[in-house]
Amino acid sequence: MLPIITEEMSSEIFSEAFQDVQAWRKNMVQYMKEENPEINSAILEVAKHDENIDLKAVALGAYLSYRLLELATDNEGLTIEA
């Protein structure tokens, strides 16, 4: 089962990514090459199958999704105390 992504998590990742989208995406390419090269290869392979798909847009969406899931997974074990 996938972890739950909260609105706060989304806001955190979106503000991080949208400060400078191109720089963030380039950093994620390097991060993914080291962290999970199989996922990075899959992301690039998707865009190769259709020349009408914008590779940068596909990569941005995939990297955003990966970071959201990564953050949610990291926070999954945490509990909020009242």
3-state DSSP of 15-63? HHHHCCHHHHHHHHHHHHHHHCHHHHHHHHHHHHCCCCCCHHHHHHHHH
3-state secondary structure of 69: helix
> What is the pLDDT, as a whole number, of residue 50?
74
> What is the pLDDT, as a whole number, of residue 82?
36
> What is the pLDDT, as a whole number, of residue 77?
66
Judge whether 63 lies within some domain.
Answer: yes
> What is the pLDDT, as a whole number, of residue 36?
92
37-59 exposure pattern, b = at least 16 Cβ within 10 A, e = fewer: eeebeebeeebeeeeeeeeeebb
Full domain range(s) for residue 58: 7-75
User: For the chain, what's the residue count?
Assistant: 82
Q: How many domains does the chain have?
A: 1
> What is the pLDDT, as a whole number, of residue 79?
44
Within the chain, which residues score under 50 in pLDDT?
79-82
Judge whether 2 lies within some domain.
Answer: no
> What is the pLDDT, as a whole number, of residue 64?
95
